[in-house]
Amino acid sequence: MSDTAPLIKIEGLHKSYGGVVQVLQGLDIEMTAGDRVVIIGPSGGGKSTLLRVLMGLEQIDRGSITFGGNPYISAKSGKTAIDAKVRRSIGMVFQHYTLFPHLDVIGNLILAPTKVRGEKKADARERAMALLTRFGLAQKANAYPAQLSGGQKQRVAIARALMLDPKLMLFDEVTSALDPELVAEVEQVILQLAHQQMPMVIVTHDMWFARNIASRVIFCAGGVVVEDGPPEQVLGSPKEERTREFIERVFHIKH
């Protein structure tokens, strides 16, 4: 796939919860396989909802999403159609820890590859160990989630998603629940992935991280895209008043 053909194309996406709370109100976003999109915006603005829709976890009201040129999600007469095969090529890491508590680290990593793809256990274990070694977690292979720090849990969650060779990774405020001293180790792992050209959509409130990882920054508020551009522009000299206000307030930066 070329770097400029759209990997994800979102058109006219509307999403409400129970028809009452209108969260996304006609969102249009296009991203290429070379993009690392950082989404910023006020709390309650629908960032998590957007990522959950992209992951195929939510019903939508209107609009459509294509992936690599193929239909992925669409809404027809009130019903949301989600292509499960496309969904399997997307990975997501959540804000809250989602490791399965009854499985050790290796068990968490090989569950989906062995059950979903029918990969041999020995092969999956070998790939899992390689990933854990890369993330500095080899000695934790047989630890249970309850025995890990928050930073370690999130790194394992990232490794678990990578076991399925995703073509797109979604990160929803994956460091927000962490103690400050644990944030860097998780961000380093994501930066590592970025260097390997993994397409990703990241929701974060970390200015340093956003600047360093983004090829594009999107400011979302009120369920629509307010501003969309390179990080220097959106974070450094925003065109929109609302973006400027938000950045000053959240990142304490005066322009």
Partner 1 sequence: MSYTFDFASVFRNMAPLWDGLLVTIQLTIAANVIGLTLGFVLALLVMSRWRAIRLPVTLFIEFFRCTPAIIQIVWFFYCVPMLFNVFLGSVTMGIMALGLNLAAFNAEAYRASIQAVPREQLDAGVALGLTPFQRVLYIILPTAVRNSVPVLLTNGIGTFQQSALVAIVAVQDLMYQGKTLATLTYRPIETFTIVALVYFAVSFPVSQIVGYLERRREVLAS
Ligand X SMILES: Nc1ncnc2c1ncn2[C@@H]1O[C@H](COP(=O)(O)OP(=O)(O)O)[C@@H](O)[C@H]1O
Residue numbers at the binding site for partner 1 (CB under 8 A): 52, 55-57, 84, 87-88, 90-92, 94, 96-98, 100-102, 111-112, 115-116, 144, 146, 157, 160-161, 164
Residue 231 structure tokens? 């990080």
Nearer of residues 111 and 207 to ligand X, judged by Cβ? 207
| DSSP designation for 176 | T
Q: If we measure between CA atoms, which residue out of 182, 191, 241 comes closest to residue 211?
A: 191
Collapse the DSSP code of 224 into the 3-class scheme (helix H, G, I; strand E, B; otherwise coil) and give the result.
strand
Positions 39 through 98 that interact with Mg ion (CB under 5 A):
48
**CB of 68 within 8 A of CB of 1?**
yes
Site string for ligand X, 44-73 (x = CB under 6 A): xxxxxx------------------------
Residue 90 CB, shortest distance to ligand X, in Å, is 18
- Which alpha helices (H) appear in 58-179, and where do they start and end? 84-87, 105-116, 121-134, 150-162
Residue 130 CB, shortest distance to partner 1, in Å, is 19
Residue 85 CB, shortest distance to partner 1, in Å, is 9
**CB of 98 within 8 A of CB of 170?**
no
Positions 127 through 166 that interact with ligand X (CB under 6 A):
none
Residue 79 structure tokens? 């019903």
- Cα 15 from Cα 70, distance rounded (Å): 21
Residue 204 CB, shortest distance to ligand X, in Å, is 11
Residue 209 structure tokens? 């991280």
Residue 202 CB, shortest distance to ligand X, in Å, is 13
Taking CB within 5 to 8 Å according to partner kind, which of Mg ion, partner 1, ligand X, none is near residue 46?
A: ligand X
Residue 57 CB, shortest distance to partner 1, in Å, is 6
Helix (H) or strand (E) holding 6: strand 6-17
Q: Which residues contact 120 (CB under 8 A, 6 or more apart)?
A: 114
What phi and psi values does residue 34 have, to the nearest 5 degrees?
Answer: -90, 0
Nearer of residues 149 and 233 to partner 1, judged by Cβ? 149
- Cα 123 from Cα 49, distance rounded (Å): 35
CA distances from 130 to 24, 50, 124, 255 (A): 40, 32, 10, 45
Residue 176 CB, shortest distance to Mg ion, in Å, is 8
Nearer of residues 7 and 93 to partner 1, judged by Cβ? 93
Sole window of 39-47, 65-73, 153-161, 211-219 interacting with ligand X (rule: CB under 6 A): 39-47
17 binds ligand X (CB under 6 A): yes
Nearer of residues 26 and 44 to ligand X, judged by Cβ? 44
Taking CB within 5 to 8 Å according to partner kind, which of partner 1, ligand X, Mg ion, none is near residue 55?
A: partner 1
The binding site for Mg ion (CB under 5 A) comprises: 48
By CB under 6 A, name the binding residues for ligand X. 17, 21, 23, 41, 43-49
